[in-house]
Amino acid sequence: MNLSKNLSCAALIIAVCAFFPKEILAQPQLTFPQLSQKASVKQTIGLTDISIDYHRPLVKGRKIWGGLVPYNEVWRAGANENTTIDFSDNVKINGMDLPAGKYGLHMIPSENEWTIIFNKDNAAWGSFFYNPGQDALRIKVKPQTADFVEALTYTFTDPTTNSVEANLRWEKLNVPFKIVVDVKNVVLASIRKELTGLAGFYWQPFMQAAAYCLRNDFSLDDGTKWVDKSISINKNFSNMRVKAGLLNKLGKTEEAGKLIDDAWKIATENEINTTGYQYLNAKNYDKAIETFKMNIDRHPDSWNVYDSLADAYEKSGNKELALENYGKALKMTVDQKQKDRISKTIQNLK
């Protein structure tokens, strides 16, 4: 071994490294497919976005549980870097509170019970640097036997208006946990925020906010405040009806009755017609017919009001009165498309 020659080479390397910047000496790295491919799955519940990002290892004939994935040890719940789960709003996981945010998702498998961990560190590599002091939540779940799945898969199943089930599927196991969202309060917070923006200059958004409270029998005081703001900007049939509905919910039936009477007095033909169809779609035929007749009394020269009344009679099973009113509408309209439609309807009824 020529020691002096080796020392000379080492000195040369040091000199070269000192002369050239690190960027030049750095070796470029080519990009190749990962064995455990990257995937993501998303679900929206109400206004809340939920997503899981992960990598998908394959079974490849290996023993997975208690083998490749040891029992009673923290596992990255996927492959490569952190599996992460992200919630845009606060949620409940199997009944336990979890604040909005992005979490590293880890699991501790065992034969009969698993621990699912939501950890505040979402940027670590797998579970190698897992720190239990960063746990935001731990829950216990029972694994379920399921059909074989070659590639590890996360799914969202059984969505409802306020919940969804998340599932880890791999080999012959399904590991589920339930996510519940307080949709009404999330929507309420969104409404409050939006009404401080451009929407706050118009009557319609305030009425829409109040109508949401009315439909959901929720936060009625806020609904009343918002509909009053809508009315102060532009008093009309639509927002007066919403307010009357809120007053009824609050037990102020006499005040609600007077308000709805006043609302009918200023209703336009289109507003009355729309209300009639709301009753008709709800199969409240008597109220629909009553509303369409009111429109005829106010707008006897409009072909459309007779057409709407005929539609209500047809759906309620009164063919004779349906034909009578379709006939009136046909004589009055000058629109050829409407004439053709009404004529065809009449022929089908005869």
- For residue 21, the model assigns a pLDDT of 54
Looking at residue 71, its amino acid is: Y
CB 127 within 8 A of CB 86: no
CB 48 within 8 A of CB 183: yes
Radius of gyration over alpha carbons of the chain, in Å? 33
- Nearest Cα neighbor of 112 from 147, 72, 75 is 72
Q: Which residues of the chain have pLDDT under 70?
A: 1-26
Tokens of 178: 């339930």
SS3 content of the chain, % helix, strand, coil (to 5): 45, 25, 30
CB 87 within 8 A of CB 100: yes
3-state secondary structure of 96: strand
DSSP code for 7? H
- Domains of the chain listed by start with CATH number: 37-181 (no CATH), 185-349 (1.25.40.10)
CB 342 within 8 A of CB 307: yes
CB 213 within 8 A of CB 227: no
CB 117 within 8 A of CB 107: yes
C-alpha to C-alpha distance for 136 and 17, rounded to whole angstroms: 46
267 — phi, psi (to 5°)?
-70, 140
Among all chains, which residue has been given the structure tokens 């409404």?
191
Q: Which helix (H) or strand (E) holds 309?
A: helix 303-316
Indicate the Cα dihedral angle 168, 169, 173, 174, nearest 10°. 50
Beta pairing partners, 248 = none
DSSP 160-198: -SSEEEEEEEEEEEEEEEEEE--HHHHHHHHHHHHTTTG
C-alpha to C-alpha distance for 299 and 301, rounded to whole angstroms: 6
- For residue 22, the model assigns a pLDDT of 54
